[in-house]
Structure 1
Amino acid sequence: MKTVEPAHTAPSGRDRAPDLTTASAATARPARRGREWLHGLLMSAPAVAGLIAFVGVPFCYAVVLSFYNVRLGSPLEPTFFGVEQYRRLFTDPDLSGPFLRALLNNLTFAVVVVPLQTGLALGLAILLNRKLKAIGLFRSFFFMPVVFPMALVAVIWRLILARSEQGMLNSALDAVSFGNWGAFDWLGDGLTAMASVIVLSVWQGVGFQMVILLAGLQQIPDERYEAAQLDRASRWQQFRHVTLPGIRGTLVFVALLTSVLSFRVFDQVYVLVKGGGLDEDAARTVMYQAVTTAFDQNNIGQASAITVVFFLIVVVLTLIQRRIVRPDNED
């Protein structure tokens, strides 16, 4: 009688020899990630060091000073105030009134400038994203105001918006109206003071956002526009379904950057208030309030409290805006 030998069965997963290729790949993956993390840390070290030295350390020092009564040039030793500077900032009418007005002006400036400047920058970038002769000259022309210091830009616009009839804007309006336009105080009037600051700020900064958006437009493949044309898409449909999705991440970055820069408005306000007759109450900003408190009133402790509160407000608003306009490729 023949004995039936058991059929050969494949070794189970427990008895199977380990796959050396898979094991080596799994071991090499964490090592590769560790090297990439180390390289990224080394490459970002100069920027991180500069951020800590010029932002982190001064901010921490400002937090410390905000708890003291520190007077610039005073022979008296600083005295510990606790949260008194913060309490006065929100309860003392002499301090809370100007601070809240400056904060409202800052918010108004940001609400107007961010969409206006971003929209103008996008329009200019689309116009300059063409293959024309001397296109580089036109791009340089629109970017030129960015190179000028803000103090110089404020001086130029002070001449344009001067109250007298020799002011360039008043002279132009007087010529157009055949001498019926009187000398209007664009900077001194409370209704047009902040609008004047907004106009000169947008004129000076729109070229920078334009260059960033132009770089984003040039990254969109031409095949997408060719496919849209084959589908008989109109210019508006191409802009809506090809251009905007292609630069969504760039638009988010530009909006966030413009928001942060809009809260830092100071130079133009200071120059125009001190030398141009700008209405101080209508155009004061939080940065202007902090600087004048520190160097005009010699109150370093109160100025430090203003900067700390303003920093926290800007951080919260930036996080909210980033949450709302988060790109699709982010988790």
Structure 2
Amino acid sequence: MASSASRFGHARWSEVAVLAGPALLLFTGFVLLPFVMAVVFSFTNVKLLQTDRIEWTGLDNYTRMFALKAVEAPPAASMAGQPLPASRQWRALKRAAPADFEGYQYLSDLSLGGRHYLVGARDPQFLRSIANTFLFALLVVPLQTALAFAMALWVNQAFRGRVLLRTVFFSPVVTSMVVVAAIWGLILHTEAGLANQVLREIFGADAPQPDWLGDPHLAMLSIAIMSAWQGAGFQMLIFLSGLQGISIEQYEAADVMGASRWQKFIYITLPGLKRTLVFVGLSTTIMAFGLFTQVDVLTGGGPMDATSTLIFHSMRVGFREQDIAYGSAMTLFFFLFVLLLSLGQKRLMERLGR
């Protein structure tokens, strides 16, 4: 009896400890312990190099993330015949009543019910970073999914060289993102970059020369295109696996019935890839919310915070500004958000599988 109680399946407890112990030790030291520390730090005011002056602050770091203040805009003042910008109006109100606006910075302005309001936040960069993160996901998820799907359909055909083509399509995935971002930084350079040189060759010397990474309206789109190019090879393999899992008999029966290529795509390929499409879309979305390296290498969050994302802002606050407590609160918020998104993915996959 004692011998059987000391066994774990077909292995003894000592054998399990020897085999699993190193992995569990690494997991505890590099995943579990840092996570617990981040949770604890998020309720304090700890600084990176001032750990001797720690105070318990409760939910202050969490309220700081979402704290907003809206005030009705004063009568429009003007300067040189032009109305003052909303940010200037906010600063004028703050100078007039500093106690009422302490800790708040200008975020945006809006009109509601015929009235104009100025909106401030305790951390406007955090809210802009959330908006930028969602914008990046909206740009990169359909682009990367469509590109990966097209590549999978192509390399799933029977032709010579398809194995080489699969390797070429997948090679950016195994290339360091830092290297990829640095190369694309050279390609998108305003004056000497390949992209603008191609535009000059096609449209002549008067061709538009966009500032791909310096224009707030183009920077996030440029990063999304680069990210979709770099990551599409991984989703291509998932789609390829799904395509090869569709029974060939269905296509043969469709040929006998005289179905066109488009009809086979609509009524056989897409239904057969239903769960694969959902998985790729949701997994790509989760990865998109973790955008950091591309922003850190290419734009540093600029221009004008147009590419600052949730992870980038939390890293900037936690390590560059040394506010570990507030950075931990933001990363914990990100963890909970991704957890809820993953649970939604699981429920959707279960519903599709019924």
Do the structures match in fold with TM over 0.5? Answer: yes
Q: How many residue pairs were aligned? A: 287
The superposition leaves residues 90-138 of structure 1 with CA deviations (integer Å, 9 ceiling, x where unpaired) of 2253543111110011111112222221121111101110121111111
Q: Distance in 2 between matches of 1:303 and 1:75?
A: 15
Q: Distance in 2 between matches of 1:53 and 1:217?
A: 41
Match of 2:308 among 251, 274, 284: 284
Where does residue 161 of structure 1 map in the other structure? 188
Q: Is the 8 A contact 2:292 2:309 kept in 1?
A: yes
Q: Distance in 1 between matches of 2:351 and 2:267?
A: 16
Residue 109 in 1 paired to residue 85 in 2? Answer: no
The 5-angstrom pairing of residues 184-199 of structure 1 reads 184-199=210-225
Amino acid at match of 2:335: F
Q: Distance in 2 between matches of 1:215 and 1:137?
A: 17
CA distance 1:75–1:243, change in 2 (3 Å): closer
Residue 268 in 1 paired to residue 294 in 2? Answer: yes
Where does residue 61 of structure 1 map in the other structure? 37
Amino acid at match of 2:311: M
Q: Distance in 2 between matches of 1:198 and 1:208?
A: 16
Provide the secondary structure at the position in 1 that maps to 2:169.
helix
CA distance 1:237–1:183, change in 2 (3 Å): closer
Q: Which runs of 5+ in 2 are unaligned?
A: 1-8, 10-15, 68-102, 106-121
Shift of 1:157: 0.8
Choose between structure 1 and 2: higher strand proportion: 2
Amino acid at match of 1:63: V
Amino acid at match of 1:328: L
Where does residue 123 of structure 1 map in the other structure? 150
What's the TM-score, normalizing by structure 2?
0.75
The 5-angstrom pairing of residues 240-259 of structure 1 reads 240-259=266-285
Where does residue 9 of structure 1 map in the other structure? none
Q: Is the 8 A contact 1:102 1:286 kept in 2?
A: yes
**Bigger Rg, which one:** 1
Amino acid at match of 1:123: A
Q: Distance in 1 between matches of 2:294 and 2:104?
A: 27
Q: Distance in 1 between matches of 2:28 and 2:297?
A: 30
Q: Is the 8 A contact 1:170 1:183 kept in 2?
A: yes
CA distance 1:200–1:64, change in 2 (3 Å): same
Shift of 1:53: 5.8
Match of 2:170 among 143, 157, 164: 143
Q: Is the 8 A contact 1:174 1:181 kept in 2?
A: yes
Shift of 1:317: 3.4
The 5-angstrom pairing of residues 228-239 of structure 1 reads 228-239=254-265
Residue 74 in 1 paired to residue 101 in 2? Answer: no
Q: Distance in 2 between matches of 1:204 and 1:53?
A: 31
The superposition leaves residues 248-275 of structure 1 with CA deviations (integer Å, 9 ceiling, x where unpaired) of 222222122111110111000001124x
Q: Is the 8 A contact 1:252 1:326 kept in 2?
A: no
The superposition leaves residues 188-211 of structure 1 with CA deviations (integer Å, 9 ceiling, x where unpaired) of 101001101101000100010001
What's the TM-score, normalizing by structure 1?
0.79
Residue 216 in 1 paired to residue 242 in 2? Answer: yes
CA distance 1:75–1:262, change in 2 (3 Å): closer
Q: Distance in 2 between matches of 1:280 and 1:53?
A: 38
Shift of 1:167: 1.2
CA distance 1:232–1:169, change in 2 (3 Å): same
More displaced 10-residue stretch of structure 1: 171-180 or 312-321: 312-321
Shift of 1:318: 3.6
Provide the secondary structure at the position in 2 that maps to 1:163.
coil
Choose between structure 1 and 2: higher helix proportion: 1
Where does residue 303 of structure 1 map in the other structure? 327
Higher relative contact order (Cα pairs below 8 Å, separated by 6+ residues): 1
Shift of 1:183: 3.7
CA distance 1:120–1:322, change in 2 (3 Å): farther
Residue 316 in 1 paired to residue 340 in 2? Answer: yes
Where does residue 93 of structure 1 map in the other structure? 104
Amino acid at match of 1:303: G
Where does residue 19 of structure 1 map in the other structure? none
Q: Which runs of 5+ in 1 are unaligned?
A: 1-34, 36-41
